């Protein structure tokens, strides 16, 4: 039988194969204890999807804020120009 790492998965440990963090492509079984089914709390598919969804929401909000920035600046300039006109000030001063 072929395994991602050199030995069969150990019972009672998360079944996720994780990289050892070096430059070589070496993998080992996650060291965390099983909590939900065959997974630890970090690698459980529902936990992974929840983290991805939170990250995706964060980036969508940031992207929306970046796209709205020119609109907000234009509205601010228009408001300042309108207030200056009402007060009789010149806008180029």
Could you give the angle at the alpha carbon of 48 between the alpha carbons of 45 and 52, nearest 5°?
135
Note the pLDDT of residue 64: 84
Token pair 């079944």: residue = 15
Q: From CA 63, how far away is CA 80, in angstroms rounded?
A: 26
Q: How many CB atoms lie within 10 A of CB 31?
A: 10
Q: What's the confidence (pLDDT) of residue 4? A: 65
2-36 pLDDT, tens digit per residue, is 566 667 778 889 888 888 777 767 788 888 999 88
Q: Residues 57-90: pLDDT tens digits?
A: 999 998 888 777 777 777 788 888 887 887 776 6
Helix (H) or strand (E) holding 29: strand 27-29
Task: Report the pLDDT value the prediction gives residue 1, as an integer from 0 to 100.
Answer: 45
């Amino acid at each position: 039988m072929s395994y991602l790492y050199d030995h069969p998965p150990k019972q009672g440990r998360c079944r996720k194969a994780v990289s050892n963090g070096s430059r070589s492509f070496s993998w080992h079984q996650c060291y965390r204890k099983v909590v939900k089914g065959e997974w630890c709390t970090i690698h459980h598919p529902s936990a992974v999807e929840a983290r991805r969804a939170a990250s995706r929401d964060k980036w969508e909000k940031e992207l929306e804020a970046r796209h709205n920035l020119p609109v907000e600046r234009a509205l601010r300039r228009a408001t300042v120009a309108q207030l200056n006109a009402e007060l009789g000030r010149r806008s180029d001063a």
